[in-house]
Structure 1
Amino acid sequence: MTTTTDPAVSVCFSVTVDSAPLGDFVSCEGLGLEIVMEQREEGGNNGMVWQLPTRVKFSNIKLTRPVCDDSYKLAEWVSAVVGGYTPTTAKIAAKNAQGDTVAEWSLDGVLPVRWTGPSLNLDSPKVAVETLELVHRGIRGSKGDGS
């Protein structure tokens, strides 16, 4: 039996858009899809109901990180999209403590739908974080490369 590292433990998520790195994020939520099913009842067959797939709905992806040196890359990409940029491709890679890719997801038709900057308040100092929410029209998973 082969031994492997625990793939459920990840330290950060690296994001690239059209091979241009946007940096690392500490939280990634919403990687998923739902296959919408339609129920069909067949005449004369009372023992079952057919479940037929009709469409696929992809969840929005929400990425969060502390504001960092790479924050300008994110701002430049969002500004380009606001200026009329077309949908693109992106990759989200889960990294372990050694920096190895544990798993990777490729996204098609990616556009930012929301960017939220840090809340700045001197009365309650906290880590300044930014959040990016992406919409997409397709997702494919791949095995981590181990490097």
Structure 2
Amino acid sequence: MSRRKPPKVSFRWWVDRQIAEARERGEFDDLPGTGKPLPKPTGNDAVTDWVLREVRKGGHDTTVLLPPSLALKREVQDLPGKLAAERTERRVRQLVEDLNERIRQAYLNHLSGPPLTVALVDVEEAVEDWRRSRAAS
């Protein structure tokens, strides 16, 4: 652990001094990614870029990082693909009804973040679309 910053020394100088001493001790040698270029910025801040890369690298779904209102909107958009993988009508109905219940709760709970603009999914229409997609394949 580093010592405390001496009085009458700028914070910037103190941090730069700590880094220089660590470099002299070789603490930055052989770090993962040494000698590789930094990834291109995406327009987000560095922390956001890093989090997105790590989540994707771990094979996780990045929609968990969205505000609830946008996550629900994305879920409605992705619903047809999700339903196409299901084998039974009962399961399709369960998934749509579960999504609708979460949409209802979101409207009741007045979520923070962007406004919630997603409508409930018509269960019968979703089931009919699922049937048509199964018949076509």
Shorter-chain TM-score category?
A: under 0.3
Q: What TM-score do the two structures reach when normalised by structure 1?
A: 0.20
Question: Relative contact order, CA 8 A, sep 6+: which one is greater?
Answer: 1
Return the structure number with greater helix share.
Answer: 2
Q: What TM-score do the two structures reach when normalised by structure 2?
A: 0.21
